[in-house]
């Protein structure tokens, strides 16, 4: 009774979101796809986009699980090319 089957495997009851009448596990994957597939989220633009997304998520009580897009060491600010 302590686990719930999810798409990627098993989650514990602590990973579920609770309120008075519901229990849920909602996940989304945000993909930004510009028209010509160029790298547009670079430098200050990337930092501004990250700040806006994080502020909106905080206001809506949404947890952001960091992925390479948000990790500073994964992309260089000038080129957007993976540093790893």
pLDDT, mean of each 10-residue run, the chain (84 residues) = 53 69 75 76 87 91 68 49 46
Q: Which range of residues forms the domain containing residue 42?
A: 3-70
CA 62, chain centre distance (Å)? 10
Is-above-0.85 flag for pTM? Answer: no
Whether 25 is covered by a domain: the verdict is: yes
Q: How many domains are contained in the chain?
A: 1
pLDDT for residue 62? 81
Helices (H), 1-84: 43-59
Rg (CA), the chain: 17
Using CA atoms, how far apart are residues 16 and 23, in angstroms rounded to an integer?
A: 6
pLDDT for residue 51? 92
pLDDT for residue 59? 92
Report which secondary-structure segment, H or E, holds 58: helix 43-59
């Amino acid at each position: 009774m302590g686990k719930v089957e999810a798409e990627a495997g098993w989650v514990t009851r602590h990973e579920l979101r609770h309120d008075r009448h519901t229990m849920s596990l909602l996940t989304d994957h945000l993909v930004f796809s510009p028209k010509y597939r160029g790298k547009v989220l670079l430098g200050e633009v990337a930092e501004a986009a990250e700040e806006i997304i994080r502020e909106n998520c905080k206001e809506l009580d949404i947890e952001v699980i960091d992925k390479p897009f948000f990790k500073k060491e994964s992309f260089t600010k000038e080129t957007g090319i993976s540093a790893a």
